[in-house]
Amino acid sequence: MNRNQDLKTNRALFLSDIHLGTRGCQADALLDFLRLHDAETIYLVGDIVDGWRLQKTWYWPQSHNDVVQKLLRKARKGTRIIYVPGNHDECFRDYCGTHFGGVEVMLEAIHETADGKRMLVIHGDKFDGVVLYAKWLARLGDWSYITLLKLNTVFNTVRRRFGLRYWSLSAYLKLKVKNAVQFIGTYETAVAEEARRKGVDGVICGHIHHAEIRDIDGILYINDGDWVESCTAVVERHDGRFEIIRWTDPATHAEDQGKLRHDALPHPRAA
């Protein structure tokens, strides 16, 4: 198969919460996705590298280095790459306004869609009260989360032995916890209000590892998810439509491009 012929070029691609440097990072799945998807502009919407985890334990396998090299290679070939750091890679916020290997670092960005809408691009951690006001509690939550991801890895190893596809136990449990559901709703509303305050049409963010496209009182809210639990990205098609792509079975994607198993959600305002 000629993969260059199968490369899907979009107007823009949004990725966040990759968490390179952690064992939970689905780097191989992301590499497979990046081999088959390209864009004129790629936004890295925070928590690309997990500085919190790397400060405690160094973990950097070849696949994580390959992700960085893949993105830098796209930049060399003409793709504009904008990096908006998050809380786990907040050290890069000291370099906003600079370029690294063709990658532009910004605290936040405004993306203009093909149909003229202006979208605020932010990681979103400043709207998380735990991160903002009690960092020690956030780090405790991070430890619990890593433990849950380890359980998730064991769970999916067993599933693969039975020929079953990847399924995120951690994401399922998180959405079953009432407080987590309430937090997501509160977070989404707060981020949408920030977009309204700035006078833009919508917001594209990450941080909570929950991919979503929906209208919140006239503001288009988009969260591109993560590459730890759900393996999701958001793309803007050339007509201005936004879609969530779920990339949970990379082997199937690579072998059979005619039967891509992804969830495509249309732009809510296009319905």
pLDDT tens-digit map of 160-188: 777 777 666 555 555 554 445 466 778 89
Indicate the range of 80-84, 142-146, 181-185 predicted with least confidence. Answer: 142-146
Q: What percent of the chain has pLDDT over 70?
A: 72
By C-alpha distance, which of 6, 53, 43, 98 is closest to 228? 53
C-beta of residue 55 within 8 angstroms of C-beta of residue 80: no
Q: Which residues, in sequence order, are CB contacts of 59 under 8 Å at separation 6+?
A: 21, 22, 23, 53
Number of compact structural domains in the chain: 1
Distance (Å, whole) CA 264 – CA 259:
13
* CA separation for the pair 205, 211 (Å, rounded): 9
Backbone φ, ψ for residue 232 (5° rounding): -125, 150
Write down how long the chain is. 271
Host domain of residue 148: 3-270
Cα pseudo-dihedral 238, 239, 242, 243, rounded to 10? -70
Q: How many Å apart are CA 247 and CA 39, to the nearest integer?
A: 17
Ramachandran angles phi, psi of 88, nearest 5° = -80, -20
CATH of the domain at 163: 3.60.21.10
pLDDT in tens, 177-218: 444 546 677 889 899 999 999 999 999 999 998 999 999 999
